[in-house]
Structure 1
Amino acid sequence: MSNNFEYIDIILLAMIAGFIFLRLRGILGRKTGHQQKPFNPIASQIENENIQKDKKIFEEKGNLELEEQVKEKFLEGANIAYEMIVTSFAKGDIKTLKTLLNKDIYNKFKAAIEERKLKNLKSETTFIGIKSTKIKEFSKKDNIYNITVSFISEIITCIKDKDDKIIEGNPDIIKIVNDNWKFSKNMWSQNPNWYLVDTSN
């Protein structure tokens, strides 16, 4: 009797083992949507290169868009800054000039104003207007942006001595003035101002 039970147990165990095997085979042998693809080093390299390429295109596009926004915003205030600098220099308003010029240019403008005062000379300037404004050069290095602008303006200017005698210029003639001014800004700075860093005619 006990031997029969042993045989029955063996048969049952064999059946259970066979059933489990078939179930495992059915599960493990079936492909699912979540099955991981076999690793392919070549395909992986191509995929990585495509990601880097897309990233580079995105960054370049982003930089170009940023640069265009910077130029557009800059030109909105460039004409105002130009007129302020020209008229402030003529009036000897060093307080205003200090907010618009970098240290080197400010010192040059200040020295010219002080020399004018020492010689008892006064500058009379009437700013008629700006005929055109054009960006000649745009460059950036890290967080420093530089923009060189060509201004064509109409100005009446003359210099008089202490007796109001005209020694330079003509108060009745409108002059066409061509200026190439370079402005610079630290884009990481909380200060919103662009500073004049170089001037030429």
Structure 2
Amino acid sequence: MDFVVQIIILALIAAFLGYKLYSVLGRRAEHEEETLGRLPPPSQSRDASALPARDRAQPTGEQTAPSAMERAMSAVAPGARRAVQEIAAADRTFEPARFIEGARSAYGMILEAFWQGDKETLQELCDDGVYESFAAAIDARVEAGEVVSNRLIRIEQAEITAADFSAPMAHLTVRFLADIAAMTHDRDGAMIAGSLDDAVESDDVWTFSRRVDAAAPNWLLESTDAA
């Protein structure tokens, strides 16, 4: 009988100790779960600047994306980039890529105006010296009774090859590689030069200029040459 009583007492003691152990560990576990539940996931809580160098390093072979300046300079020859950057610093509206687009348009408009004898358009797009040369060539062509039927087929390439900035004047030289179909007739309509069936590759070097402090954004053609 005493043996049975001892077993019952030991069982009660074990139950009591088990209850106390649960009350301590169980609450601690619940507290840790609540604390972890309030923490952000590791990817949000780790600051990249605090990572070890090996964690910040890019995987082998991964290429960094080109910067905005590198993309802007893609159509600028290396030797002209410093002056182009100086122009961009002096004129916040200047962007090399946008300038190239405008130069391509101007190239086509000026050639078309010259072929058609449109002096008004030429005067708007060229400085006085270039305009006078174009106008003289048009007058000579008219006097000779010649009519041109040229057509710009495509501009293969346009690149800023040289630049100069002497405040406030900016000068940019662009090399154009283009295909042009050309044909000239005399006053009687007979073809005297060229062919509209065969395009001729044209390699032109044009220089544009602008005062960076001017209100008007227009660049004027100041010289033409052949490469």
Indicate whether the TM-score tops 0.5: yes
Tell me how far 1:168 sits from its aligned partner. Answer: 1.6
Tell me how far 1:72 sits from its aligned partner. Answer: 2.6
Contact between 2:86 and 2:165, CA under 8 Å: does it hold in 1?
A: no
Q: Which runs of 4+ in 1 moved over 6 A?
A: none
Q: Work out the percentage of aligned pairs sharing the same amino acid.
A: 29
Task: Give the Cα–Cα distance (whole angstroms) in 2 for the partners of residues 199 and 166 of structure 1.
Answer: 27
Contact between 2:87 and 2:165, CA under 8 Å: does it hold in 1?
A: no
Matched, 1:150 2:175: yes
Instruction: Determine which of 91, 98, 113 is the counterpart of 1:73.
Output: 98
Task: Give the Cα–Cα distance (whole angstroms) in 2 for the partners of residues 174 and 135 of structure 1.
Answer: 24
Is the partner of 1:117 in helix, strand or coil? helix
Tell me how far 1:64 sits from its aligned partner. Answer: 7.2
Contact between 2:104 and 2:155, CA under 8 Å: does it hold in 1?
A: yes
Closer, same or farther: CA 119–65 of 1 in aligned 2, 3 Å:
closer
Matched, 1:105 2:127: no
Matched, 1:174 2:206: no
Task: Give the Cα–Cα distance (whole angstroms) in 2 for the partners of residues 64 and 90 of structure 1.
Answer: 33
Which residue in the other structure is 1:162 paired with? 187
Task: Give the Cα–Cα distance (whole angstroms) in 1 for the partners of residues 214 and 156 of structure 2.
Answer: 32
Task: Give the Cα–Cα distance (whole angstroms) in 2 for the partners of residues 77 and 153 of structure 1.
Answer: 16
Q: Report how many residues are paired.
A: 141
Closer, same or farther: CA 65–103 of 1 in aligned 2, 3 Å:
closer
Is the partner of 1:82 in helix, strand or coil? helix
Task: Give the Cα–Cα distance (whole angstroms) in 2 for the partners of residues 105 and 92 of structure 1.
Answer: 14
Deviations 1:101-149 (A, max 9, x none): 0000000000000110011111111111100011100110011000000
Matched, 1:137 2:187: no
Task: Give the Cα–Cα distance (whole angstroms) in 2 for the partners of residues 63 and 192 of structure 1.
Answer: 17
> Residue type of the partner of 2:155?
I
Greater CA deviation, 163-172 or 119-128?
163-172
Contact between 2:110 and 2:125, CA under 8 Å: does it hold in 1?
A: yes
What are the ranges of 5 or more consecutive residues in structure 2 without an aligned counterpart? 1-84
Closer, same or farther: CA 70–145 of 1 in aligned 2, 3 Å:
farther
Matched, 1:122 2:147: yes
Task: Give the Cα–Cα distance (whole angstroms) in 2 for the partners of residues 146 and 183 of structure 1.
Answer: 6
